[in-house]
């Protein structure tokens, strides 16, 4: 993440989900993952928070998603999230629901709070019952600390190769407000949402309606614009908890500093979204797709996501092959309004198509724009002024290898 | 293809697109493909035909698609299709349109018919102008013969490893009617349609409206249910030409033999669709997905296609990994109505899930159902009586290798 040029927010060095005042986390290797890596933890605030969330659209929503959604629908308040990796607790029917509720109870007992204030997030294999004996034993050993953010970020990793967390500070009503977050997700990442877990904790004071609107907007422009493999998981959850401990005045949609907070929140989510795309399973390159000149924002979003999602294009990206026709093919499939004689395309700084046909570019020059671990493409549809950005990654042999032997 | 058990139609041995009376074809290696393989040809009837088609939904439709669509919208009549592989003539703006029309003119001159009776089909790389000097020189050497069907099927191959053609005969009004067809397509194959070309020639006598309805139904249930990589090409075209030379009475929607013809046409298209899926780029396994018990046919279609399209599931298939949660995950993303506590799943003959959760099946036994080059899965949604079938293939390292270095 680079600091905002307009200085509305500042990057916090070594930031994490516990950077905001009053947040703490603990995690350990309970033994859910066969690898012996960290897989269980609790992320909590010292005091109850305004809490909002976005969840997977998948019809087979996992038990922790159902439990968390029910709690937040009943009341936009929470104080903690209990989480695990290695088992998604999805497709486990009623037993899954009982296990998810028990996980919340175990965490609540440890924290001395009501189970209704605990949300649940799980990620891992689908269709295998949660090993509750392991969870119970592990939970008793979780040790929450204000400096526990990075350890928590490690414990929600599945096939992630790097932990994903960050934080920013932003001035609200004369106070320094912090927004810290962690996320995981590298496969089954696709609009809308991903096998993606993201926990965002802030010491700002947020009105529930404003928190909901701000989170939805940030998720729509960041996590929902990331595609790794076109699949959407049963477990995606993005939580925003606001505890007000900064002492800053409550933000509502009409507050003078509302936009500043929204921009800071989006910056945090953008950073995590980029980290997810570049850590896509088997990925070697981050792809950033901008669509400009669209007739509407929804067209721009659709077109950008279609390009970032195309298996053919992602394979070409891997080979650093400026096979630009595949970009137009993907845009043409997106449902966005296009005029085949107006579209233009840039790969990095090289314009490869204009008015719907090749510029006669030098292939080697365009290919050179695809070297390195970050590649940008821009499609201008020449129809309007709407734009959108999406992120993806290349499709590699390693993705196939990784996903052809996951559960066995 | 296996012969129909109700004996409504019979498989023709060694059938092709020229099996029906009065059809002929010619093809050669003109030099459009760098490989020196066959890449140009003409498929024609001795007399003008009732002609209908379905085309790509991609907004960047290629020039040959635009030209063919215009002709058939003006009049449902045609006598020939000129075709090439190695160049899609897509994203070539006005020059592409001129080249597509000239290809039709060259074929018409050779056949001594009006250019309006010639349709055009191209497949290959996008965004490179058609090498018309090569096309002109090649066209003068095309030699059409009644036994030219297989050669034509070879000349529309791109990354296909096997030619795809077949024919059936069916009794209509006391006459033997033939339906012969060829197709190509192994990548960018996805609902709706594919980088897919299919030419179907019959000596039946078809009313245009009936021909249109019959083709749409067959395509919807076959080619539109095949997914290789989730991308839809700029060039997909499926033509049906009926020349009436069998002497059978004209079929309309109300004819007693109408359903028999429709079933035969669907059988031809099913055979080609299965050949496409099993020849998917890099594929080693054909996946047949049945969805039963759906609340509606559109739900069943959506769910079946989602399963056949999931990159994660396709990778698991490659590894013969009975990771059944990925099947439900894909169904859950499809938009089809589901009840997580009612869904059941079979891999081959092994039931792996019931009432939304695992049956506790033996992993080795389920994996054994995934050996071999044809794997079937069935999802029962437990909600109604609608069903649908889709075809796909596994996702392999070879797909990535093949598609990461195509144009360079």
Contacts of A232 in chain B (CB under 8 A): 329, 332-333
Verify whether the Cβ–Cβ distance B326 to A405 is below 8 Å.
no
Per the CB < 8 Å rule, is B397 touching A400? yes
Mutate to test the interface with B, among A56, A60, A65, A90 (most CBs of B within 10 A): A60
In chain A, which residue's Cα lies nearest the Cα of B360?
Answer: A128
pLDDT the model gives residue B162:
87
User: Which of B56, B57, B59 has the highest number of chain A CBs within 10 A, making it the mutation to test binding with A?
Assistant: B59
Please determine, for residue A4, whether its predicted confidence score (pLDDT) is greater than 50.
no
Compare all CA atoms of chain A with the CA of B308 and give the residue at the minimum distance: A231
In terms of CA atoms, which chain B residue is nearest residue A234? B329
* pTM of the full structure: 0.81
Q: Are the Cβ atoms of B328 and A93 closer than 8 angstroms?
A: no
DSSP collapsed to 3 states, chain A? CCCCCCCCEEECCCCCCCCCCCEEEEEECCCCCCCCCCCEEEEEEEEEEEEEEEECCCCCCCHHHHHHHHHHHHCCEEEEEEEEEEECCCCCHHHHHHHHHHHHHHHHHHHCCCHHHEEEEEEEECCCCCCHHHHHHHHCCCCCECCCHHHHHHHCCCCCCCCEEEEEEEEECCEEEEEEEEEECCCCCCCCCCCCEEEEEECCCECHHHHHHHHHHHHHHCHHHECCCCCCCCCCEEEEEECCCCCCCCECCCCCCHHHHHHHHHHHHHHHHHHHHHCCCCCCCEEEEEEEEECCHHHHHHHHHHHHHCHHHHHHHHCCCCCCHHHHHHHHHCCCCCCCCCCEEEECCEEEEECCEECCCCHHHHHHCCCCCEEEEEEECCCCCEEEEEEEECCCHHHHHHHCCCCC
For residues B407 and A261, the model is more confident at A261
Average pLDDT estimate for B53-63: 89
- pLDDT bin (cut points 50, 70, 90) of residue B158 is confident
- Are B234 and A325 within 8 A, CB to CB? yes
Confidence of residue B72 (pLDDT cuts 50, 70, 90): very high
Provide the pLDDT confidence category of residue A188 given band limits of 50, 70 and 90: very low
Say which residue, A204 or A401, is predicted with more confidence.
A204
pLDDT at A340: 86
Average pLDDT on B246-252 reads: 97
The reply to whether residue A400 touches residue B337, judged by beta carbons under 8 angstroms, is no
- A59 to B324: CB separation less than 8 angstroms, yes or no: no
**Confidence check: pLDDT of A233 > 80:** no
Lowest mean pLDDT among A151-155, B121-125, B232-236, B311-315: B232-236
Given B18, B159, B195, B292, which residue is catalytic? B195
pLDDT at A403 (0 to 100): 62
Give the pLDDT of residue A406. Answer: 45
The minimal CB distance from A400 to the residues B126, B233, B318 is found for B318
Residues A22-32: tens digit of each pLDDT? 999 999 999 99
Residue A14: count other Cβ atoms within 10 Å of its Cβ.
12
Minimal Cβ distance to B363: which of A340, A401, A408: A408
> Using 50, 70 and 90 to split pLDDT, how confident is the model at A125?
confident
pLDDT at B34 over 60: yes
Q: Note the pLDDT tens digit of each residue in B363-390.
A: 999 999 999 899 999 999 999 999 999 9
Contact A340 B91 (CB under 8 A): yes
Contact list in A for residue B363 (CB cut-off 8 A) is 408
| Partner-chain contact A316 B367, CB within 8 Å | no
Cβ B312–A403 below 8 Å, yes or no? yes
**Maximum distance among all alpha carbons in chain B?**
68
In the residue annotation, A195 being an active-site residue is answered as: yes
Instruction: Select from B58, B61, B326 the Cβ nearest to the Cβ of A126.
Output: B326
Closest residue of B to A94, CA-based? Answer: B341
Cα nearest neighbour of B367 on chain A: A408
pLDDT the model gives residue B359: 94
Cα B231 from Cα B195, distance rounded (Å): 9
Q: What is the mean pLDDT of chain B?
A: 90
Least confident span in A24-33, B135-144, B194-203, B207-216: B194-203
pLDDT of B309 reads: 85
pLDDT tier at B402, thresholds 50, 70, 90: low
| H or E element at residue B134 | helix B132-139
Q: Pick A407 or B234 by higher pLDDT.
A: B234
Lowest mean pLDDT among A300-309, A356-365, B1-10, B163-172: B1-10
Please name which of A275, A383, A364 lies closest in space to residue A321, comparing C-alpha atoms. Answer: A364
| pLDDT tens digit sequence for A285-307 | 999 999 999 999 999 999 999 99
CA B272 to chain centre: 6
Q: Tell me: the pLDDT tens digits for A62-80?
A: 999 999 999 999 999 999 9
Rounded Cα distance between B38 and B24, Å, is: 17
B60·A329 Cβ contact <8 A: yes
Contact A332 B60 (CB under 8 A): yes
Residues of B in contact with A90 (CB under 8 A): 325, 328-329
* Chain A interface mutation, best of B283, B295, B315, highest count of A Cβ atoms under 10 Å: B315
Quick check: A315 and B403 CB within 8 A? yes
Per the listing, tokens 């092994």 go with: B350
Across the interface, which of A125, A322, A333 has its CB nearest the CB of B325?
Answer: A125
- A219 contacts A193 by C-beta, under 8 angstroms: yes
- Here the tokens at position A273 are 């979204």
Among A340, A368, A399, the strongest candidate for a mutation testing the B interface, having the largest count of B CBs within 10 A, is A340
Closest-CA residue in chain A for B352? A127
What pLDDT, on a 0 to 100 scale, did the predictor assign at position A402? 64
pLDDT of residue A408 exceeding 80, the answer is: no
- The confidence score (pLDDT) of residue A195 equals 67
Say if the Cβ atoms of B58 and A325 lie within 8 Å: no
Region of poorest pLDDT, from A113-127, A351-365, B307-321, B355-369 = B307-321
Contact call for B93 and A331, based on CB within 8 A? no
Residue B192 has what pLDDT? Answer: 35
Query: Which of B58, B332, B397 comes nearest A60 by C-beta?
Result: B332
Shortest alpha-carbon distance between residue B83 and chain A (Å) = 20
Q: Does residue A161 surpass a pLDDT of 90?
A: no
Please give the sequence-ordered ranges of beta strands (E in DSSP) within B266-349, or none if there are none.
Answer: 286-294, 344-347
Chain A residues within an 8 Å CB radius of B91: 325, 328, 340, 353, 356-358
The two beta strands, B286-294 and B374-380, are parallel
CA distance B6 to chain A (A): 39
**Three-class HEC string of B42-105:** EEEEEEEEEEEEEECCCCCCCHHHHHHHHHHHHCCEEEEEEEEEEECCCCCHHHHHHHHHHHHH
Name the closest residue on chain B to residue A66, using Cα atoms: B340
- Minimum distance, in Å, between the CA of residue A139 and any CA atom of chain B: 26
- Which residues in chain B are contacts of A338 at CB distance < 8 A? 59-60
Most B CBs within 10 A among A329, A342, A405, hence the mutation to make, goes to A329
What is d(CA B6, CA B129) in angstroms, rounded to the nearest whole number?
49
* Confidence at residue B120, expressed as pLDDT on a 0 to 100 scale: 98
At B379, list the tokens: 């999802």
Mean pLDDT confidence for A355-359? 91
Q: What number is the average pLDDT over the span A369-392?
A: 95
Helix (H, G, I), strand (E, B) or coil at B202: strand
Residue A191's pLDDT is 35
In angstroms, what separates the C-alpha of A11 from chain B's closest C-alpha? Answer: 35
| Choice among A195, A205, A232, A396 that is catalytic | A195
Q: Residue B197 — φ and ψ, nearest 5°?
A: -115, 135
């Amino acid at each position: 993440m680079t600091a905002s040029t307009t200085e509305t927010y500042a990057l916090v060095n070594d930031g994490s989900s516990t950077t905001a005042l009053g947040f703490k986390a603990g995690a350990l290797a309970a033994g859910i993952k066969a690898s012996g890596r960290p897989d269980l933890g609790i992320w909590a605030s010292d005091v109850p928070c305004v809490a909002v969330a976005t969840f997977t659209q998948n019809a087979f929503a996992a038990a922790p998603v159902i439990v968390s959604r029910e709690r937040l629908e009943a009341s936009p308040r929470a104080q903690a999230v209990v989480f695990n990796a290695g088992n998604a607790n999805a497709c486990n029917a009623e037993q899954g629901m009982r296990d998810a509720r028990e996980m919340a109870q175990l965490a609540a007992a440890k924290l001395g709070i009501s189970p209704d204030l605990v949300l649940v997030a799980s990620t891992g294999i689908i269709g295998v019952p949660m090993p509750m004996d392991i969870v119970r034993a592990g939970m008793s050993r979780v040790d929450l600390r204000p400096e526990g953010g990075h350890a928590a970020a490690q414990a929600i990793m599945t096939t992630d190769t790097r932990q994903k967390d960050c934080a920013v500070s932003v001035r609200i009503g004369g106070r320094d407000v912090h927004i810290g977050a962690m996320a995981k997700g590298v496969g089954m990442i696709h609009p809308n949402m991903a096998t993606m877990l993201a926990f965002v904790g802030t010491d700002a004071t947020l009105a529930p309606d404003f928190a909901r609107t701000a989170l939805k907007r940030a998720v729509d422009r960041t996590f929902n614009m990331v595609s790794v493999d076109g699949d959407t998981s049963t477990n995606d959850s993005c939580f925003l908890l606001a505890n007000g401990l900064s002492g800053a005045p409550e933000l509502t949609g009409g507050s003078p500093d509302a936009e500043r907070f929204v921009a800071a929140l989006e910056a945090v989510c953008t950073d995590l979204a980029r980290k997810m795309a570049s850590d896509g399973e088997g990925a070697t390159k981050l792809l950033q797709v901008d669509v400009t000149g669209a007739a509407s924002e929804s067209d721009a979003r659709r077109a950008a996501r279609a390009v970032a999602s195309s298996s053919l294009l992602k394979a070409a990206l891997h080979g650093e092959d400026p096979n630009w026709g595949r970009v137009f093919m993907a845009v043409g499939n997106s449902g966005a309004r296009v005029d085949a004689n107006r579209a233009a395309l840039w790969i990095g700084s090289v314009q490869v198509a204009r008015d719907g046909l090749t510029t006669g570019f030098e292939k080697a020059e365009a290919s050179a724009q695809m070297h390195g671990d970050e590649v940008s493409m821009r499609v201008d549809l020449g129809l309007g002024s709407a734009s959108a950005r999406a992120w993806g990654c290349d499709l590699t042999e390693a993705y196939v290898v990784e996903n052809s032997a996951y559960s066995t």
